[in-house]
Amino acid sequence: MTIDAQMASSSVLSRLGRKSRSGKVHSSFTRTVNILCQDMTWICLHPPGVPMHPFCIRVKAEPEMGECFLKVLWSEPATVSRNAIDLGGRLTISLEQAREWNCDLDPSASGETSLQALDTIDTILKEALIDSVFLRAVAGNGPAATANSAMAGGTDPVGDGEGAGSTEKAGGAVVGGLQAVLAARIGCAVDLMETAWRLRCIEPVLRGVKQLVGLGIGLTPSGDDFLIGFIGAAYFFAHGDDFRKSVFEGMRPLVHRTNLPSFFMLKAALKGCYPGPLSDFLHAIETGSSDGVRSAAKCLTGLGATSGQDMLAGVLSWLHVSSTCGAADAAHYA
Amino acid sequence: MRHITLKASTYRDSVALMRISKKASGLEGVSYVMVAMATDTNLDLLKEAGFEPAEFAGAKANDLLIALELETDSVLDEAVDLIEKEIEGGPAPSGAEAYEAAMGLDATLKSHQDINLVLISLPGRYAAYEARKALEAGKHVMIFSDNVTVEDEKQLKLFAGERGLLVMGPDCGTAIINGIGLGFANEVPRGDIGMVAASGTGAQEVSSILARCHEMGISQMIGTGGRDVSREVGGVMVKMGLRALIDDAATRAIVVVSKHPDREIADEIIEVARRGKKPCIIHFTGQADIRSEANLTFTRTLAGTAFEAARGAGKQVEGFTGFDEDAMAALLAAARKMPPGRKYVRGLFSGGTLAQEAVFLLSDGIKDIHTNLKIGDFPGLDDPGESVGHTIVDLGDDTFTRGRAHPMIDQAYRLVRLQRELDDPETAVILLDVVLGHGCHEAPGVEIAEALMTALSGGEEPGKAREPGDRPLVIASICGTRGDPQNYANERRALEAAGVYVAEHNEGLCELALAALEGRRDG
């Protein structure tokens, strides 16, 4: 059976040449077929309705499509070229009519709307009562606050952050199980990253990133989703900042520390390619319309089970950093 | 006790992983479940939390790990078994069932030509696509899902209308077709009253009162989804459902229940009912300015709708109060003892229509009711998570259900909110709806009663137990029937044992609340 692709992301199309390449089906679900090529090109096939993201090829809705996706077997050989993707001879996706979707985020924002956006997002979070451990950490009344209080005692906030959330340091005794350790780790890592970015110290920022890559629940670990949101906001609002560029360079070797689907998302994020709802959210913040931010936040938080919420937390974290990182501070610590 | 289950090179989408985690966490004796990928960072986390590295030796980032923290060893096998089954997709179907489960809607429709209705409960963005497939195959459709665009809804309904097919929904929570309850339906007998409902709990309240108080049954209950009566959708399915019931020989009287409709659409619905000649009882919540005429009766309350429907179907029914006189006397006595600082009503509703009705009925005696319902001129809530003065909240609103189940299924947030209202020294009366029926929480009244008893006795700090005179009054109504799976009598007994004043219906609940406030002032 052949199904036409309607749309393909620019990052996929730019990697596909006339010469075909081989790969295999990495995994398949009711609405997704993930393909991994030998040259490390990652492609996700989706039906209409799933938001576009940097590796997405959206196929046309066909009456039998659901069954076709289910028939695709894991590890089945795949052949990929600029014109078509063949999955074990069972299913062919024709790319002839696929329109290109530009997944590159245009980093043209001035960054001046951050404070206003922060207020709007805080209101949205209150209204939505979103329950994400990352959002609570970023909002400052959850694990981050706990972690901060555990770290209180005159230590340099960008100094020895590693392990500061351990159960022992949080009071000398085991205060809880896995959940408490997870929350404390997130709190410490986010706090470390935010503080170090404010003070423009690259090494502790990367230490925070290292603690977050691959951390937490879900198919794409929550820590990775958080970082994608943070990276996206930094890329968008501080594109020309040399410190931002240096941090991104330092992050590249760290993003291998997670599973494959997440690794590819992080890698794309560092290049400026993001899921559609995240890009829309960042653009909405730039325009400053609270209705626009609210509506874009709703779309973003609908991504996956918690992925969208964690990305929103990442954006919020960067906005906190930028709103408290005044020009004088920046000049002093640069 | 701690335990790790590791599945090599296994992926499940995040929603599935969340469901597995929640299900396993619900087992008694399981304190925490973490379902995650076995990345180095997560493995470090396990070590830090005290898990044995030997248990996950050799794990790779693309493996799936499930970490369990258990209060007791005895639950281990059950928890692991449940998780394994969920990861593999639940209990494996066999034979033809397995084939259909794998092959989806198209294959099922082909192999079961006699199916005439398809119930769709998928994430909203996929629901319209599947609904269209079902309609093209000539099947009626009920869409339980929300988050379907209004454009898709209109197109589906127009497409269905041209073919004489029903589209119940999107966001249709309740229907009863040929005696079979769909979604959150109550156990009601077959009878000769037909219903068209653009409001889920409104339909449940009317059908339950008919069954429980008037011993009357339902011929058909056609749900439409609340947005059907908007100007954008045009009331397509309410009008079509009405016509179907007008033509249905087994239906003697018809009930139309809807939240506040667009005025123009209301007029069109009334015109269809008028031409039908059958007795038609119409309830548009909050709209009390339409005069009854010939075969049309307009009602102000849901309980009144049930009463008029019973009469319309030819039953000699007596009017009845929505509360027990003894309960009213006890309530007034308690109200008079309350300190003067306790002055506000706080309604924590799981049913949207019940909340809406409460706002309208309470506004007869209370000014400035704050609500998250966005109706009329009632002031809103800047933060729906915080009550302000007199407050009625619909806890089934999207803002409360994002990422968690509806409060008719999971009351976790409602109980947190209940505690907060109990702790507020300005709360005089707390109002609760307890909705029973298929698909609902297995014992909502018992759970509320337990929470109340714990809270009022001081919980783990008995020194903080409240004096009887310094407690808010709690009033509840139970929407359900004696045939519902939850056991109506048990629910009522549990609530009453916890000191809750139980009204017969939502209207009675509002009357009790107003009387309590009035009694406080008199006292």
Percentages helix, strand, coil for chain B (3-state, rounded to 5) are 45, 20, 40
The candidate with the shortest Cα–Cα distance to A179, out of A225, A227, A233, A143, is A143
Do residue B299 and residue B362 come from a single domain?
Answer: no
The reported pLDDT for the residue numbered B98 is 40
Whether B416 and chain A come into contact, CB under 8 Å, resolves to no
Specify the CATH number for the domain of residue B443.
3.40.50.261
B contacts of A301 (beta carbons < 8 Å): 402-403
Among residues B42, B59, B87, the one where a domain terminates is: B87
Tell me the C-alpha distance between A132 and A300, whole Å.
Answer: 14
Question: Is the residue at B264 inside a domain?
Answer: yes
Asked whether residue B344 falls in the same domain as residue B381, the answer is yes
User: Which among A29, A181, A305 is the nearest to B45, CB-wise?
Assistant: A181
From first CA to last CA, the distance across chain A in angstroms is 59
Cβ-Cβ contacts under 8 Å for A119 (sequence gap 6 or more): none
Query: Which strands, in side-by-side order, build the sheet including B140-143?
Result: B117-120, B140-143, B167-168
The per-residue pLDDT for B84 is 82
Write out the two tokens for B223: 């749900």
Q: Do A174 and B50 touch (CB under 8 A)?
A: yes
Distances in Å between the Cα of B328 and the Cα atoms of A7, A153, B132, B475, B512 are 65, 59, 52, 11, 7
pLDDT tops 80 at residue B354 = yes
Q: A222 by DSSP, 3-state: which?
A: helix
Question: If you average pLDDT over every residue of chain B, what do you get?
Answer: 87
H-run or E-run covering B247:
helix B236-247
For chain A, say whether B149 makes contact (Cβ under 8 Å): no
Of B87, B102, B129, the last residue of a domain is B87
Of B15, B41, B50, the CB nearest to A223: B41
Identify each DSSP E strand in B162-313 by its residue range: 167-168, 174-177, 180-183, 190-197, 218-223, 253-258, 280-284, 296-298
Domains of chain A, by residue range, sit at 2-101, 114-333
User: Is pLDDT above 80 for B320?
Assistant: no
Q: Which residues contact A117 (CB under 8 A, 6 or more apart)?
A: A285, A288, A293, A319
Q: Could you tell me how far CA A168 lies from the centroid of its own chain?
A: 31
3-state secondary structure (DSSP) of residue B395: coil
Give the mean model confidence (pLDDT) for residues B144-171.
Answer: 91
Which residue in the set A63, A129, A181 is minimally distant from B385, CB to CB? A129
Are B311 and B364 part of one and the same domain? Answer: no
Are B242 and B272 in the same domain?
yes
pLDDT at A334: 32
**Cα separation, A296 vs A278, whole angstroms:** 8
Assess if residue B10 is contained within a domain.
Answer: yes
The residue written with tokens 């890592």 in the block is A189
CA distance B56 to B34: 14
Q: Which two tokens stand for residue A28?
A: 């398949």
Considering the domain architecture, whether residues B462 and B339 belong to the same structural domain is answered as yes
Residue type at position A263 = F
Band the pLDDT of B102: cuts 50, 70, 90.
Answer: very low
* Digit-coded pLDDT (tens) for B113-145: 888 999 998 767 678 888 998 999 999 999 988
Q: Verify that B489 and B428 share a domain, yes or no.
A: yes
pLDDT for residue A209: 95
Q: Is B399 on the interface with A (CB under 8 A)?
A: yes
Determine the residue of chain A that is closest to B16 in CA distance: A305
Are residues B49 and A178, on separate chains, in Cβ contact within 8 Å?
Answer: yes
Is the Cβ pair B106, A64 closer than 8 Å?
yes
Average of pLDDT values for B298-313?
Answer: 94
Cβ–Cβ of A178/B384 closer than 8 Å? no
Tracing tokens 């639940």 back to the chain, one arrives at B90
The number of C-alpha atoms within 13 Å of B294 and in the hemisphere containing its C-beta is: 8
Residues B91 and A289 sit within 8 Å (Cβ to Cβ): no
Determine contact, residues B46/B4, Cβ cutoff 8 Å: yes
Residue keyed to tokens 């954006």: A315
CA distance A91 to chain B (A): 16
User: ∠ CA B303-B304-B308 to the nearest 5 degrees?
Assistant: 120
B28 has a pLDDT exceeding 70: yes
Sort residue A221 into left (φ over 0), alpha (ψ -120 to 50) or beta: beta
- pLDDT recorded at residue B266: 93
CA distance A275 to B493: 52
Contact assignment for B107 to A27 by CB distance below 8 Å? no
Per-residue pLDDT for B378 more than 90? yes
Cα angle B392, B454, B323; round to 5: 50
| Boundary (domain end) residue, out of B31, B52, B87 | B87
* Predicted pLDDT at B512: 94
* Residue B200 within any structural domain of the chain: yes
A120-169 pLDDT, tens digit each: 777 776 665 555 667 766 765 333 333 232 222 222 222 333 333 332 32
Is residue A312 within 8 A of residue A303, CB to CB? The reply is: no
What pLDDT does B92 receive? 40
Which residue would you say has higher pLDDT here, B324 or B305? B305
B/e letters for B74-108, b = 16+ CB within 10 Å, e = fewer, are: ebeeebeebbeebbeeeeeeeeeeeebeebbbbbb
What pLDDT score does A277 carry? 93
Q: Do B399 and A127 touch (CB under 8 A)?
A: yes
The mean pLDDT value for A114-120 works out to 68
**How many whole angstroms separate alpha carbon A256 and alpha carbon A259?**
8
User: Is the torsion defined by CA of B493, B498, B500, B501 positive or negative?
Assistant: positive
Question: Distance (Å, rounded) from C-alpha B410 to C-alpha B210?
Answer: 27
Looking at residue A300, its pLDDT comes to 87
Dihedral pair phi/psi, residue B10, rounded to 5°: -115, 135
Confidence of residue B13 (pLDDT cuts 50, 70, 90): low
Considering only CA atoms, which of A64, A75, A37, A33 is closest in space to residue A50?
Answer: A33
Length of chain A: 334
Q: Which residues pair with B348 in a beta bridge?
A: B393, B432
Q: Is B262 in contact with B312 (CB distance < 8 Å)?
A: no
C-alpha dihedral (B407, B411, B414, B420), degrees to nearest 10: -170
- Do B306 and B333 have their domain in common? no
Q: Is residue B117 part of a domain?
A: no
Q: Are A63 and B13 in contact (CB < 8 Å)?
A: no
Taking each helix axis as running N to C, give the angle between helix B150-162 and helix B124-136, from 0 to 180 degrees, rounded to the nearest 10: 10
The answer for B 438-477 residues in CB contact with A (under 8 A) is: none
Using the structure block, give the residue that is written with the tokens 């337990």. Answer: B450
Best mutation site among B1, B15, B19, B39 for testing chain A: the one with the most A CBs within 10 Å?
A: B39
Q: Does one domain contain both B337 and B413?
A: yes
Which are the contacts of B97, defined by CB distance < 8 A and separation ≥ 6?
none
Which of A72, A125, A178, A190 to mutate to probe the B interface, most B CBs <10 Å? A178
Considering only CB atoms, which chain A residues are within 8 Å of B383?
126-127
> What pLDDT does residue A218 have?
79
The pair of three-digit structure tokens given for residue B224, joined into one six-digit string: 């439409």
pLDDT at B103: 53
C-alpha distance from residue B383 to each of A297, B372, B399 (Å): 17, 9, 10
Q: Are B341 and B275 found together in one domain?
A: no
B125 touches chain A (CB under 8 A): yes
Confidence band, pLDDT 50/70/90 cuts, at residue B471: confident
Helix A222-237 to helix A178-198 angle (10° resolution) is 10
pLDDT at A208: 92
Verify that B213 and B335 share a domain, yes or no. no
Residue B220 lies in a domain: yes
Banded pLDDT at B496 (limits 50, 70, 90): very high
Flag whether residue B11 sits within 8 Å of chain A, measured between CB atoms.
yes
pLDDT tens-digit readout, A10-64: 989 888 876 788 888 888 776 788 899 888 889 999 888 778 889 999 988 776 6
pLDDT tens digit string along B498-510?
Answer: 999 999 999 999 9
- By the 8 A CB rule, do B208 and B506 touch? no
Question: According to the model, what pLDDT value does residue A199 have?
Answer: 85
The pLDDT > 90 percentage for chain B reads 55
Chain B residue closest in CA terms to A184: B45
Domain count across chain B: 3
Q: Which H or E run includes B7?
A: strand B2-7
Question: Taking CA atoms, what residue in A is nearest to B17?
Answer: A218
Taking an 8 Å cut-off on Cβ atoms, the answer to whether B61 and A31 are in contact is no
Q: What is the mean pLDDT of chain A?
A: 77
Instruction: Flag whether pLDDT at A109 surpasses 50.
Output: yes
pLDDT at A173 (0 to 100): 29
Q: Which of B2, B41, B50 comes nearest A215 by C-beta? A: B41
H or E stretch covering A37: strand A33-37
Alpha-carbon gap, residue B91 to B97, rounded angstroms:
12
Domain housing B82: 2-87
Q: Does residue B395 surpass a pLDDT of 70?
A: yes
Distance (Å, whole) CA B296 – CA B276: 10
Q: Is B126 on the interface with A (CB under 8 A)?
A: yes
DSSP code at position A254: G
Residue A211 has pLDDT above 50, yes or no: yes
Query: B279 and B209, same structural domain?
Result: yes
Q: What is the mean pLDDT of residues B279-302?
A: 89
A134-138, A206-210, B27-31: which is most confident: A206-210
Considering only CB atoms, B39 lies closest to which of A50, A214, A304, namely: A214
On the question of pLDDT at B231 being above 80, the answer is yes
Contact B45 A49 (CB under 8 A): no
CA distance B450 to chain A (A): 25
Q: What is the pLDDT of residues A275-315, one digit of tens each?
A: 999 999 999 888 877 778 888 888 888 787 788 888 998 99
Min Cα distance A110 → chain B (Å) is: 30
Query: Do B118 and B142 contact (CB within 8 A), yes or no?
Result: yes
Structure ipTM: 0.71
- Cis peptide, bond prior to residue B170, ω within 30 of zero: yes
Spatial distance between the Cα atoms of A330 and B436, rounded to a whole number of angstroms: 60
Alpha helices (H) along B53-199? 76-87, 95-111, 124-136, 150-162
Same domain, yes or no, for B476 and B393? Answer: yes
User: CB-based contact (8 Å) between B102 and chain A?
Assistant: yes
Q: How far apart are the C-alpha atoms of B132 and B170, rounded to whole Å?
A: 12
Report yes or no: B302 and B257 within 8 Å, Cβ to Cβ.
yes
